[in-house]
Chain A
Amino acid sequence: MNKSSHRLPNSEPESNLLAFLPPVDYPSESEERRQVAGILETALPGRPSFLVYVTEMYRQIGFRHLFRDLTEIVFVLLLGIGVWIFTALFAMEQRNTELAYTFIFTVSPLLYLVVSVIFFAELRRRDTYAVEMSCRYNVYQLASLRMLMFAAVCLVLNALLVGLISAAYGRVDMLRGLLLSASSLMLFAAAFLYGMLRGKNAAMRYLWVVAWPMLNLVTAIAQPAFYHLLLMQVPLYVYALLFAAGVWGYIRQIRRMIAIRSGVLF
């Protein structure tokens, strides 16, 4: 179609502006009723399973649009990794294996934390909130997909970093390190999302962000024996269980976020 034909010359305001809008034929009133009913009833047959729904959403939106702020995210991640490595070097300097585990356990949620906090703080401040809320996949559905992927990416990055530590510092057991890191990340992330969705005000929403390092610090100081036990003596399958519990809790929160109806938090 000739592009310029869409442009409306000033002199003929009644030219057919919408000639190019073919997708919906309007054959007759009853036919249209049927079509609308079709859209309303069968476009989304029931509630598809969570995995199907999320995959389909990702397929339709695509990476480029889902992570439109990719540069910022990568920048923040790099910054986080920098801090991670820097403190890791410091921890290893102490030649203290327990400290290394403590470090892994405490700092593993860091990457996840920074990307998520920045993302949430931005979310409702953005001008585009109103437009995005009116789209099929609204802000919260997009957010849940992003949070899912943040968690996955952070798991992988953490694993790489733990691998790095264990390679550089022989006394850290790779498998224990990985499980420690993964379970701490997922437990933290589940609690973080819970706070975000349930918190009545900003203080309550971000409480967990402060509480997590405090909790670790206090336990390490007040109950060093217990903390030691937790990090170094507990059989590995316990971490695996904790990790599974974290993943389960996290998915639960993600599903709650997906179900947020437009308007509820408007």
Chain B
Amino acid sequence: MLTVHGVGKRYGNARVLEGLDLEFGKGVYGLLAPNGAGKTTLLKLLAGLLPPTEGEILYEGQPLAVLDERYRLILGYLPQRFGYYPNDTPLKYMQYLAAIKGMDRRKALSRSEELLDLVALGEVKHKKMKTFSGGMIQRVGIAQALLNDPRVLILDEPTAGLDPKERARFRSLLTQLGRQRTVILSTHVVSDVESAANEIVMLQGGKLWVKDHPEAICKLLAGRVYEAQLTDTEIEDFRTRYVLLGERSEPGGWKLRFAVEDGTVPADSWQGVEPGLEDVFLYVYRDRQPGNVPSGTIWGDEVRL
């Protein structure tokens, strides 16, 4: 169990995170927030790579700062920018990382090979990594994070650069990993976590906005998402009045997906639809007019949009 207690983080005078209280048990947790919201910062804190400016993070009741090397024994971490030695083969790099993770040498080799097979790089394990594509590098990154069979797995945008097939493979890997481990990953690709994550954590203005099951979060927008077929002139009007969630061209005009304020009476031509996580994301993190009070706020335990 990973526990975050009143954690805040400042870089100099810039406050990035504040007053975070979180608990992570077994399962997959998706950290969802826009660019610059502090996802990487939070994951670095959870990995014990950055000290928080306030509060503390505990693993099984002991502060990470105290556990230190012992925490790293059970940690797997994929940074947002996964660095590598261009002249290394993935197999050599994995063995190197296994060595500095303190793994047994013979086990390291078989383990590295198995993991490279797992991310479908078995065939190129003897090729130098400088010849690899971005997605292949990323898969090496995912594989190395699993080397020591970590109990806490922290992945910073693991799906960046993966093609749809690899994404699908990764999602099913996630589901399996989450059964026995704590897996925390950040992403802004909603579909990566919508089905695979047990809980979604969303940040707003450096604070926790919501931490809940994906379906529960989707329910926050229930009854407020519609689709409608519109002409070009109507679209402009909609843009200013509602929150646009998507648009696609259809024969005879545009199909618009949008969310409305609570209590808005829908027009007859509107078609109510089930909100998805992506709708919530777009709604919560929409560009707000200046002076507009952020509508994602926590009142007590109740989250409102």
Contacts and interface: CB of A to CB of B under 8 A. Distances in A.
B168 A142 contact: no
A6 B50 contact: no
6 contacts: A40-B59, A128-B83, A130-B49, A134-B77, A136-B100, A263-B50
A261 B70 CA distance: 12
Contact of B100 (A10, A26, A129, A135): A135
A245 B166 CA distance: 58
Interface stretch (A59-67, A94-102, A234-242): A59-67
Interface stretch (B30-38, B60-68, B215-223, B224-232): B60-68
Contacts of A141: 69
A38 B240 CA distance: 59
A65 B95 contact: yes
Interface in B28-65: 44, 47-51, 59-60, 62, 65
A239 B50 CA distance: 43
A18 B99 contact: no
Contact of A262 (B68, B73, B171): B68
Contacts of B15: none
Given A8-B169, A14-B172, A262-B72, A131 B149 contact: no
A264 to B, nearest CB: 7
Interface of A (DSSP majority class): loop
Contacts of B65: 261
Interface string B83-113: 1110000000001110111110100000001
B165 interface: yes
A60 to B, nearest CB: 5
Nearest to A129: B83
Interface stretch (B116-124, B245-253, B277-285): B116-124
Interface string B114-153: 1001101010000000000000000001001010110100
A266 to B, nearest CB: 6
A6 B97 contact: no
Contact of B149 (A10, A23, A138): A23
B50 A137 contact: no
A62 B70 CA distance: 20
A16 interface: yes
Nearest to B171: A13
B74 interface: yes
A61 B99 contact: yes
Contact of A136 (B72, B114, B120): B72
A8 B78 CA distance: 22
A263 B49 contact: yes
B165 A7 contact: no
B42 to A, nearest CB: 14
Contact of B84 (A7, A43, A127, A136): A127
A247 B65 CA distance: 30
Given A26-B180, A135-B101, A136-B100, A43 B73 contact: yes
A263 B51 contact: yes
Nearest to B77: A134
B295 interface: no
A155 to B, nearest CB: 26
A138 B60 CA distance: 22
A255 to B, nearest CB: 15
A36 B26 CA distance: 13
B114 A20 contact: yes
B45 to A, nearest CB: 9
B83 to A, nearest CB: 3
A256 B122 CA distance: 41
Nearest to B51: A263
Nearest to B71: A40
Contacts of A134: 47, 49, 72, 75-77, 79
A13 B169 contact: yes
A44 interface: yes
Among A8, A16, A142, max chain B CB count under 10 A is at: A8
Interface string A99-128: 000000000000000000000000000111
B100 A18 contact: no
Contact of A39 (B48, B73, B105, B120): B73
Given A44-B70, A126-B83, A142 B49 contact: no
A18 B73 CA distance: 20
Interface in A247-266: 261-264, 266
Nearest 3 CB-CB pairs, A to B? A127-B83, A134-B77, A130-B79
